[in-house]
Structure 1
Amino acid sequence: MTRDAASPPTANPDPTGGSRDGWRLSRRDLLRLGAMAAVAVGGVGAIEITDRLLDDRTGDSTPEATRIPSMCQMCTTACGIIGHVANGRLLKITGNPKDPNSQGAVCAKGVAGPSVLYDPFRMLYPLKRVGERGSGRWRRITWEEAYDEIATRLREIRDRGKPEEFAFQQGRNRSSDIVSRFLNAYGTPSHFNHRALCSANRRAAIATTIGESDWDLGDFENSRYVLNFGSNWAEAHQGHIPVAIRMMRAREKGARLVTFETRMSNTAALSDEWFCVKPGTDGLIALAMANVICREGLWDRTWLETWSNYPPDKILEHVAQYTPARAEQESGVPATTIERIAREFAAAAPECTTICNRGSQAHRNGYYNDRAITMLNALVGNMGKRGGWCWHPRSSWDKKAIPEPEPVPDKPTARSIIAEAKDWPLANAFAGKMKVAEIIYLWIREGRQKISALMTYNADTAWSWPEAQLVRGVLQDEKLIPFHVCIDVMYSETSHLADIILPWATYLERWDIDARPPQGLVDYVSLRQPVVPPRGESKDIREIFPELARRIGGGMEAYFPWATTEEYLEEYFRPVPGGFARMRADGVWMDPTKKPHYEPHTKPLTAAELDGAAEDAETGIIYKGADSKTGEPVAIGIRIGGVALRGFLTPSRKVEIYSDFVVEKGKAAGREVHPLPVYEPIPSHQREFPDDHLIMTSYKINVHNAHRTMQSKWLQEISHTNPALLNRATADKLGIGDGDWIEVTSFRPLDPAVPMGDGSELGTLRTRVRLTEGVHPLVIAIAHNAGRSVGGAYATNGKDDAAIPGYGEAADPDLDRLWWRGAISVPQNDILPIYPDPVAGGQAYHDTVVRIRKVG
C-alpha cells in the first residue's frame, strides 16, 4: 500500500512531551500496569500502581504540572479524569475524585490516553483520495478545500429535496447534542447508530418491563446477593469502573456473587460460584429459578399483587413449564443447584439484584433472555429498593434542568427505511431509538435506500461490523456510496475506503457536555475539556459542523449562532451554580438536593398534578391532557390503596410481566412477539453437532475497547493477540494441541427469521489455539479486539508501516521496540454473520456455528 504525501514527513513530537530524557513508563512498568488491569477489579487498582510509578520515583525531574479536569473516552464508561500538563504537554492521566460515578478511579485504558494523543500514526491533516477508492493513495488538502467539497455535495442533495440520501453513521458518540443539531438542521433522518451491536436486546427487555428506562443500575454497593448472567463488569461492562468499585465494596461486606458464563472471565474468577453454561441458555436458567421461587412461595406476593400487571398465580402457571430439570438438560447447570441459588436469591431480597449484558442478550433469543432475568427481580420485590434492582430515568444529565441552548431545530420529516428498520418490532418502539446496525450496509447493497453521501464518525464499520467484508465491499462501491467522508482520529479500514478524511481531535483536545447513567442513582453533569490544544490541524465536530452548516446554508446556519464552542457551553451551563467557570474548575456538578432514585413509582402525585385529571374506575390509571400527536389521553399515575401514585411509566403504570404493547408492535411488523418472558431455543443449536462443529463466541480484552485502543502502543504491548480458546477435552477429540494452527469456518444461521438465514458457509480464518479448562466444551471463544490491517505499525503488529502524509515510521523512535511484530491477530468480525434478534434487532455475537480443523 502506498500513500502519496503532498509534503515531506514532519518530525513527530515525543509522546512524553518533548525530551527523550523526560518522563516515560518503561516496558516493565507497562506490563506491571497491564497485570494490574487484568486482575479481578477490572482496572480499579490500575490507578494505584500508576500513581506509585509516577509519584514515588527517585531521581526523577518531572516538572510541576497543571491539573485539568475532563472526561475519558477510551471506552463507553466516560470516567472523570485529571490531565497533568506541563509545558503544554500531557504527562499523565489520573482519576477525578469529584466524579460521582468513577470516584477518582481510572483503568488501564484511561491511563493510556497519552499514547493515543501522541500516536505517531495519528491523522493530523485533511486528506483527499487521489487513487482508486481503497488504494491507500492520498494527498494533503486544506480545511478550506475539504469544507467546500463536502458542503457542495451536501447542498446539492438537500436542494433536490432528498435529505435522507445523506447518511450519518456514528460509533460511540459523546457529542450527541451537536450531532443531532447538525443532522436535524440538515433534515436527514438517516442517522445510524451502533446500539444493536451493543445493548439493544437488553434495553428493549428493560423498557418493555418498566417503561421508564432502558438501563438497569443495580444498587450493587448495598446488595447482599448478585446473580450475574454473562456480564463481565470486571473488564468490559458499559459501567465498567463505577460498577466494579461498588461491586468490590459489596464483596468486602460479604455480598455473594454467582456467575453464569460460557468462559472463565475475570468476573467469573472473582465470583463465589461460576457455572460454565451453554450459550443462549441464560433465560432458561432464570425461568427455572422463577419456577422455584413461585412454586415454593418464595416470592413477594404482596408486592406482585400491588405492582405487577399479571397476577401471581398466572405467573406461576406460566413458569411451570420451565423446570430446573429442563434447564439442566439444556444449560448444563444441575437442577439442584438452580433450586438452591433461587432460594438463596429470594432469601436475600430485597437486597439482591441481577446484572446482565452481552453474555445473556447478544443472542438470537437475547430479548427474551433478558425479559426473564428482569422478571426475577419483580418476583422477589427488589425493584427500586435499596440494595436491589434499580434504574434512573436519565442515562445522562437532567436535560429539563439543563436544556440545550435555543434555537433547536425540529426533527426531520423525511423518512429513512434503514433507520426505521420496521422488520424488527421493538427496534424503535421506545424513546431510546435502537435501530438495527447490522443491516445498514446489506440494505444499501440491496438497494432498499439510495445513499448519495455517507459520513462516518468514530465508527470503524469496515473492521468492527459483522460480515465486515460485506461492509468493505459496499464502501468501496462508488455506485452504492458515491461520496464518503470519514471523521476519526486514526487511519483505519473505514477511512481507507473514504474519499475525504477529516482528522478528528481526541477526547483530550476537545469539548463536550456529558454524563453517564448514575451508578449512585443521582444524576450529574460533566464537562469534557481540552487538556492540551489540538495537534496538527485536527478539529472537533463542534468546530466542523457549524462551519459546514454555514457553507451549506438554506437556514442551517441559524442553528449555530455561537462564534465558539466555549460561547455555546457558556450558555449551556448557565443553569449550573457557578456556570461554565465552575465546570471548568471541577469538571462535574451534581445537584446536592437530589436523593437516590429509589422506588420512584411510589411517589405520590401532588395536588397540582391531580388538578384537572381524570381516573379510569376499572384500572385506577389517572390521565391528564392529551398527546399532541395522537390525541390519546396521557397517563400521569395510578391509584394504589386509595393513594394517587406516579407508578411505572408503562401503559398499565405497573411492572409489565405481560405486555400487550409488544404484541401489538409485533403484529404491525408481521412477527409474533410473546407477551410474557419465554425461552426460545436458538435454531442453529438444536441439533447434535459433529465433533468438529462448535459455537463461536466473542469477548473483549480488558485493555481494549472496540476500534479505539489498538493504535495505542501502550495497550497493544499489553495485549496484541487473540488466539482461539478451546476446551482441552474438545481439543483431545480432534487431536489438537496447545499452540496448533487451526482453520475456523463459519456458517450463517439456518433460520428464516434472520437476513440471509440459509445456513451457507460465510468465511474462514486461520489462527492458533490456546487450550483451557475455562471455556464450555461446545464453544470456541475468540476476542474481537484484534485483526487490523491498516492504522499503523502498533495497531497491526507491524503489518502496516506505511506513512500517513506528514508522519511515518522514521519519526517514531519506539518502533525499534515493537517486539510483538508479527504476532497473530485475526479479524473475527470477518466471519461473524449478520444475525439480529428477530424481536429487537440486537446482534447475536455468541451463536455462530463454526467448523474447525487442524492445519499446517
Structure 2
Amino acid sequence: MIRRDFLKLCLSSIPVFLFHHYLGFSAYAKEVFGGKQVSRHTRKSLKGIPSICQLCPAHCGIIGFIEGDQLVKIGGNPKHPNNLGKLCARGLAGLNMAHDPDRITSPLIRRGERGKGQWEKISWEKAYIEITSRLKTIYQSGQKRDFVFQSEHEPDGIIKRFLEAFGKTLILSEDSLDFGNRDWGQWLTWGEERGVPDVINSHYILNFGSNPYEAHEYYTGFIGRLIEARVQNKTKLVTFDVRLSYTAGNSEEWFPITPGTDGMVALAMANVIIKNNLQNKDFIEKWTNISSSALAQFLSQYTPEMVEKTSGVHTSDIERVAKEFALSRPAVAISGRGVSSHLNGVYNERCIFLLNTVVGSIDIPGGYCLPRTYRFEEPDLKPSFQKGKAFDLEKVQITPQKFISMVKHGKLTPKLYFVYESNPAYKNPESGLTSEVLKNEKLIPYMVVADSYMTETAALADIILPAATYLESWGLDSSPAMDLNPFVGLQQPIIPLFAKSVPISDICIELAHRIGGGLPRYFKFNSTEEYIKKVVSGIKKLEKGGGLKYLKENGVWFDSNVKPKYRSYELKRFNTPSGKIEIYSEKLKRRGFQPLPTYEPIPGHGDLKGKFVLVMYEPNVMGSRTGNFKWLAEIKHRNPVWINKDVAKQLHIEEGDRIKISTRIGSFVTDARLTFGIHPRVIAIERNLGHWGIGHIARAKRFKSKDPNTNLVWWEKEGNGISPNPIISGNSDPIGGGEAWNDTLVIVSKA
C-alpha cells in the first residue's frame, strides 16, 4: 500500500514530530560535554557523572546529574559515539529507580509456603551462609548442572567468571526468548549473532518486521542515524509488517504482510534480482559457499506469483521493490522480532540476510556490517570459558521457558535455581505453568532471587537478595559501534548504594571466597572496581590515554584516529567453517533441516477457521524492567487490542468494547481498538504491562510514601493493562529455540 494513500486515513495521531530533533544527529557530538546543567532551585551547577544505561540492549552513554547528595536528572552523554548525547524516555526515567520506596531494602528469607508473602528480614551474613552451604554441596558433589543461573542478558564480566569457575552451570538468558532465533539464523549464515545496519549511508532500507521508530535493540543511536539518512540522503524506507507501527507509518510504503511469510517474500525478491541479472555475481562467487547458478536454480521455485497467494503482497510490488532495492545501492535489508518470533524464525532471518548477500551489501558503506567491538581480556588466572551460547545444534536449545517445561516433566532436576534481574514468572510464555513449577518445592528445591524489586518471580523465592541497580554499580561495555569504530564504555556508580543493596558482581566475589575449593584463585581482587581496572589495563591504547581515570571522567573511550574499515572480511574472512557466508549450511543438513534459506509454513496458519493470529509488540516507553517507573506508567498503562475495522464490524465489535481473547490455555478481557492499520487475520497487543508484582506503581496502586507522587496515581481506576503471556503457547523454533511469540491462535468474542 502506498504511504500517501493510507496515512490520510490512519496516521493523524502518530507523533512523527517527536523525531524532528534528531536532525543533524552526528553534528551533536561537537557540543561541549554535558552542556551546562544548573539547579532549578539554587542556580548552582550540577555535578555530572558519566555512566552506561542498562534499561535496554542499546546501552547508551548517560550522565547522572547530582545536586547535593541527590540524583536529580539523567541525560545522554554527548561523548558516547553511539547515542551522541540523545536518550529515550526509558533512559530519562531511570531516575525513578534511584529512590523508589518500593525497592527491596534488605535480604529476605521465606517463612511459610512459597508465594504466601511471609518474609523475614535477615542480615547479609545469614543470607550468605544459607546460599553458600547449598552451593558448596553442589560444588563438592561434582553435579554442577544442579546449579542453574538465569539473568536477563547473557552473563559477562565477574558473573560469567564466577559461573565458569564454578563449573558446568546451566546458564539461562531471558534474551534467548526474544532474540534466540535471530541469533541462530545469523550465526549459521555468517558467524555473528547480529550485525550493524549502516543506515546513515544507505539509500534504500528494506524493513521486515522491525520497528526502530518505537523500539530497537540499538534504539536511540539507530533511529537517529536512520532519520538523518532519510532527510539528508533522501533514503527510501519500505516496511513489511502485519501492523501499522510507528515505523510503518513513517515509511514511504507499508505492506501489511501475512504473518510469518516475510522470508518467502525475501526469497521471491532474491529470485527477481537474479533473474534480472541485478545480483553481485563476483561477491556471490567469491564470498559465499554456493555458486550463482545453483542459487538461481533453488530460488526459481519462489516466483512472485506463487508468493503472492500466501503472503498477500502483490506480484507487481514484489518485482518493483526487488528491483528498486538492487538498483538503489547502497541498500540494506533489516529485520526485527516481528520476523524472528515465529516457528520459522531462523529461516526468516536467513532469507532476509540472503537479500543483502545477493546484492553484495555486506560490510560496505550503507550495507549490513560486521559488528565492531572490543573483546575484553580476563585478568590474572582465568577459568576455561565455555563458548558463550556454544551455538551447538547437537544440543537442545534451553530457554527459560524450555527449562520450566523440562523440570515439569522430570528431564531436569536442579538443586538450586538462582535468578538475577530476570522475571520468568511474568515474562515466560504460558507463565502460569512457570509459577506452578516455581511453587513446587519438589521440582525446584531452592530458589534465590537477586533483584531490586519484589517481582512476580521474587515472590516465589526462598531467599531474596536486594541487588544494586546500574545507577549504583560498576561495569564495562563494548556494544556494536554504530559508526564501526569500537569503543569502551564505563558503567560506574552515580549514587551510593540504596539501603542494604549489593551489586551482583560483589555478591559473586563473596560467594566464590566462601565456597572455597578452586574458586578463590580466580578472584584475586577485592572489588569490582579493581577487576575493571585490571581489564582496562589490558587495552594498551586506552591505558596509554589515561585508563580507568579517563573512563571515569568521560564515560567512554575510542581511538579517534581510527577510521571505519569496510570489507573487513577480506582480511579476517567470516567466522564460519568455510570462512564464507554459508548460504548452504552443512550444520543444518547434518541435523536433518533444509540447508538453504527456505520458507516453512506455520502449522495452523493456512486455514484459521475463524481464529486470529495474536501478535505482541514492544511499546516505546515500557520495557521488561521499567514497570514501576512512575513517569512511564503514567504515559503507558493501558494496552487495548488492535483489531481490523472490517473484521470488527463482522463480529459486531465497536471501539472501546470489552472483548475476550481466548486460547487453549486461557483467556483475558480488554478493550478493543479498531483500526485499518492491521492485517485482517491478525490482532495485536503491547506487552510489558499487566504486572501483579514488582510494586505499587506497576500495579497502578496509589500509596503514601516519602515521595508525594506515589499518592497521585490518577490512573488507578484505569488499571495497569493486561499481560498476554499467560495465554501464549510455549512453542519455539525447532532450530533456534526462540519463542514463537507471534504464532498463537486466538478466538475473539465480545466479553
TM-score bin, normalised by smaller chain:
over 0.9
Q: Does 1:398 align with 2:318?
A: no
> Structure 1, residues 108-153: CA drift from partner, whole Å, max 9, x if none?
0001011111212111211111121100111111111111111111
* Of 693, 698, 701, the match for 2:619: 701
2:462 equivalent in structure 1: 499
Cα separation, 1, equivalents of 2:620 and 2:569: 37
Aligned to 1:24: none
Residue 153 of structure 1 aligns to a residue whose secondary structure is helix
Q: Say whether the 8 Å CA contact 1:199–1:358 is kept in structure 2.
A: yes
Map 1:72-91 onto structure 2 (within 5 A): 72-91=53-72
Structure 2 match to 1:714 = 631
- 1:110 matched residue in structure 2: 91
Structure 1 segment 307-346 matched on structure 2, within 5 A: 307-346=287-326
Q: Distance in 2 between matches of 1:210 and 1:163?
A: 33
Q: Give the counterpart of 1:680 among 578, 600, 603.
A: 600
Question: Which of these residues, 686, 702, 712, is aligned with residue 817 of structure 1?
Answer: 712
Deviation track 1:384-423 (CA, whole Å, cap 9, x = no partner) reads 111112112x5x4233xxx12112122479xx9xx9898x
Structure 1: distance between partners of 2:18 and 2:301: 37
Contact 1:421-1:436 at 8 Å conserved across structures: no
Q: What is the match of residue 564 of structure 2?
A: 596
Q: Hey, what does 1:14 align to over in structure 2?
A: none
Distance of 2:106 and 2:662 partners within structure 1: 40
Contact residue 400 and residue 424 of structure 2 kept, 8 A? no
Q: Is the 8 A contact 2:22 2:228 kept in 1?
A: no
Letter in 2 for 1:741: R
* 1:436 aligns to 2:437 (yes or no): no
Distance 1:326 1:131, change over 3 A: same
Structure 2 match to 1:619: none
User: Is 2:740 the partner of 1:844?
Assistant: yes
> In 2, Cα distance between the equivalents of 1:386 and 1:818?
49
How far apart, CA to CA, are the structure 2 residues paired with 1:601 and 1:558? 39
Per-residue CA deviations over 1:813-834 (Å, capped at 9, x if unaligned) read: 2233101103241111101111
Q: What is the one-letter code of the residue matched to 2:514?
A: R
Q: For 1:256 and 1:571, how far apart are their aligned partners in 2?
A: 46
Q: What CA deviation, in whole Å up to 9, does each residue of 1:714-754 have, x standing for no partner? A: 110010111111111111010111111111111xxxxxxxx
**SS at the partner of 1:762?**
coil
Which residue of 134, 149, 165 corresponds with 1:153?
134
Aligned position for 1:126 = 107
Distance, in Å, in 2 between the alignment partners of 1:42 and 1:162 is: 57
Are 2:47 and 1:66 aligned? Answer: yes
1:594 shift after superposition: 3.4
Confirm or deny: 8 A CA contact 1:43 1:235 kept in the other structure: no
* 1:718 to 1:773, Cα distance in 2 relative to 1, 3 A: same
The Cα shift of 1:514 comes to 1.2
Return the TM-score normalized by structure 1: 0.81
Aligned position for 1:755: none
User: How far does residue 340 in structure 1 lie from its aligned partner after superposition?
Assistant: 0.5
Among 648, 662, 684, the residue aligned to 2:588: 662
Partner of residue 620, structure 1: none
Find the aligned partners of 2:500 and 2:310 in 1 and give their Cα distance.
57
Alpha-carbon deviation of 1:689? 2.4
Distance 1:426 1:321 in 2: 30
Matches within 5 A, 1:574-585: 574=537, 575=539, 576=542, 577=544, 578-585=546-553
1:162 alignment partner in structure 2: 143
What is the distance in 1 between the residues matched to 2:395 and 2:14? 39
Check 1:270–1:339 CA distance in 2 against 1; reply closer, same or farther (3 A cut).
same
Kindly state the Cα deviation for residue 43 of structure 1 after the two structures are TM-superposed.
9.4
1:409 is aligned with what amino acid? P
Q: Deviations over 1:81-134 (max 9, x none)?
A: 011112111110111111111111110000101111121211121111112110
Deviation at 1:195, TM superposition (A): 3.4
Runs of at least 4 residues off by over 6 Å: 35-38, 54-59, 419-422
Preserved contact between residue 438 and residue 835 of structure 1 (Cα < 8 Å): no
The number of residue pairs the alignment matches comes to: 724
Residues 257 and 679 in structure 2, CA contact (< 8 A), matched pair in contact too: yes
Deviation at 1:55, TM superposition (A): 8.3
Letter in 1 for 2:637: H
Identity rate, percent: 38
For the residue of structure 1 that corresponds to 2:472, the secondary structure is coil
Per-residue deviation at 1:449? 1.5
Q: Separation in 2 of the partners of 1:122 and 1:368? A: 42
Shift in CA distance, 721/194, structure 1 to aligned 2, threshold 3 Å = same
1:774 aligns with 2:672: no
The alpha carbon displacement at 1:426 in A equals 7.3
Indicate if the aligned counterparts of 1:525 and 1:590 stay in contact, CA closer than 8 A: yes
**CA pair 529-43 structure 1, distance change in 2 beyond 3 A:** farther
Residue-by-residue CA offset, 1:258-312 (whole Å, 9 max, x unaligned): 0000111111111111111111010011011111111111112222222222111
Give the alignment's TM-score, normalised by structure 2: 0.92
| Alpha carbons of structure 1 residues 792 and 269: separation in structure 2 relative to 1, 3 Å | same
How big is the shift at 1:809? 3.7
2:688 to 763, 785, 803: 785
Once residues 726 and 43 of structure 1 are traced to their aligned partners in structure 2, the CA distance between those partners, rounded to angstroms, is: 32
Contact preservation (8 Å) 1:711, 1:795? yes
What is the CA–CA distance in structure 2 between the aligned matches of 1:727 and 1:852, rounded to whole Å? 12
Choose 58-67 or 734-743, whichever is displaced more: 58-67
Contact 1:292 1:342 in 2 (8 A): yes
* Structure 1 residues without counterparts, runs of 5 or longer: 1-34, 429-433, 604-645, 667-671, 747-760, 802-807
Matches within 5 A, 1:211-610: 211=191, 213-252=192-231, 253-349=233-329, 351-392=330-371, 396-399=373-376, 403-411=377-385, 425=393, 435-574=398-537, 575=539, 576=542, 577=544, 578-603=546-571
The one-letter code matched in structure 2 to 1:728 is: K
Counterparts of 2:112 and 2:64, CA distance in 1: 40
Aligned partner of residue 726 in structure 1, secondary structure: strand
Amino acid in structure 1 at the alignment position of 2:630: K
Distance 2:718 2:163 in 1: 42
What is the identity, as a one-letter code, of the residue corresponding to 2:479? Answer: R
Q: Distance in 2 between matches of 1:55 and 1:713?
A: 27
The residue that corresponds to 1:743 in the other structure is 660
